Amino acid sequence: MPPPLADNLVVVLPPASSLRAWAESGLFAREWAMILAIAGRYERIVVVTFNGDDERAAFDGLPEHIRAKHSLVCNSANLPRAAFVDRAGARVRELLPEGQSALVRTKELAGGDAAVAIVEALRAQGRTAGLMARGAFLWTRYIAHAYGPHSRIAADSAEHEKLLCRSADIVAGTSDRMVEDLAWRYGIDPARTVVVPNYVLPVSDDEQVGSKEDGLILCVGRLVARKRIGMLIDAVAQIARHNPAAHLEVVGDGPLRTELESHAEGANANVRFIQSMPYADLRRRMRECCVFAAASELEGQAKTVLDAMASGAPVVVADTPGLGGLVQHGVTGLKVAGATDAFAHVLQELLNDAEWREVLGASAARATLAAHALPVVLNHELAAHERTMQLAAARQARAAA
């Protein structure tokens, strides 16, 4: 048995994520797979969530073997965010036996102010406490895109992200470009940055494999403007003039659902909207589709695209930040300009060529599993934890001296 990395692992969820949502959507196994994979290197795992008592109910519904090793800190009193952050450190400190060490890890960069408060509270007791600022995407870039770069929320988000990254022992991102950006923005020593890609779960032997559904183009994502679902609807409407079997299935929900449903009806496009789908069913659907399409103008290292590629689906993505870097054009998928005509042309060509789809899908599965399978990414994750605790111990020794 490898030696413990620390006595405790404290995982801080971002405000937009919740155990309840993961449990209801069947995504808990997907989202928590990495934490479960490293659980043996810690005595206890503490989950910190900004959400309220719904989280407690979801936590109590987890299998006993998971709950036995986990503790939960949630916002049961529905405190304002700042008040919850102020109390988070004390609440985590009360859970951990005196003198025990801890690694505090964020699930995303959002909510990092709570992670900083927790690690400072632990260090104030003289504990060895490391902080790993981990994120799958550049949070502040999303905020600036959604609300404007000069908005108040963008300024506040940048301050929180800066505080987290400058306080962290290690800053972990999903790509070289991401960690280089964070190091440049916040004056971080590149030696304190590491790349830990997003992972995919290998397709198990017992997963039900469906046959390909003729003409099915699958899209998964939140129904918001940056996903550009309307562009895919228009592309499918164009294709259907020559290929009546072509149809689009959109899995996801969001504020633009009603608008997009009306758009599809007005365009006379064959589109089916599905609010949510259990993760196992979604993976099966990825294996049944003829093409998986993503048109977003801004992404991190998109998990749904990686899942689709690992499932052997031929993918077509917009050549935009966060999507273009996932695909080797013509080898593991296709990259196109973010325009309706470009998507329509490539989607139509793929729908007409089953052999080409098979080659692209098989190549995508091989490459994605080689680089992103959980056991592969686990090695990067463990190395980041080890380095975090080494730097934390060195920090503590300097303070004692």
Task: Calculate what percentage of the chain has a pLDDT beyond 70.
Answer: 98
**Residue 36 pLDDT grade (very low, low, confident, very high; cuts 50, 70, 90):** very high
Residue intervals of the chain classified under CATH 3.40.50.2000 are: 8-199+374-400, 216-372
Counting beta carbons within 10 angstroms of the beta carbon of residue 31, is it exposed (0 to 12), middle (13 to 18) or buried (19 or more)?
A: middle
* Cβ-based burial of 222 (10 A; exposed 0-12, middle 13-18, buried ≥19): middle
Look over the chain and give the mean of its residue pLDDT values, rounded to a whole number. 92
Fold of 216-372: Rossmann fold (3.40.50)
Residue 3: predicted pLDDT: 81
Task: Place 22 in a pLDDT band, splitting at 50, 70 and 90.
Answer: confident
- Residues 61-87 have pLDDT tens digits of 888 988 999 999 999 989 999 999 999
Under the banding of pLDDT at 50, 70 and 90, the label for residue 209 is low
Q: 207 pLDDT exceeds 60?
A: no
Alpha-carbon gap, residue 210 to 213, rounded angstroms: 8
The model's pTM is 0.92
Distance of CA 228 to the CA centre of its chain: 19
Among the listed residues 353, 374, 372, the one whose alpha carbon sits nearest the alpha carbon of residue 364: 372
Question: Residue 181: is its pLDDT beyond 70?
Answer: yes
pLDDT at 215 over 70: yes
Structure confidence at residue 206 (pLDDT): 57
What are φ and ψ of residue 316, in 5° steps? Answer: -125, 120
Give the whole-angstrom CA distance, residue 223 versus residue 233.
13
Fold of the domain built from segment(s) 8-199+374-400: Rossmann fold (3.40.50)
User: How confident is the model over 265-292, as pLDDT tens digits?
Assistant: 999 999 999 988 888 889 999 999 999 9
pLDDT above 90 for 25: no
Instruction: Confirm if 79 and 51 have CB atoms less than 8 A apart.
Output: no
Residue 63 CB neighbour total at 10 angstroms = 8
Pseudo-torsion of CA 364, 366, 369, 371, nearest 10°? -90
Distance of alpha carbon 261 from alpha carbon 273, whole angstroms: 8
User: Is residue 21 very low, low, confident or very high in pLDDT (cuts 50, 70, 90)?
Assistant: confident
Query: Encoding tokens for residue 328?
Result: 């080797």
**Of 66-75, 198-207, 269-278, 351-360, which range is least confident?**
198-207
Please provide the DSSP assignment of 42-63 as one string: -SEEEEE-SS-HHHHHHHHTS-
pLDDT reported for residue 23: 83
DSSP state of 210: P
What average pLDDT does range 321-343 have in this prediction? 93
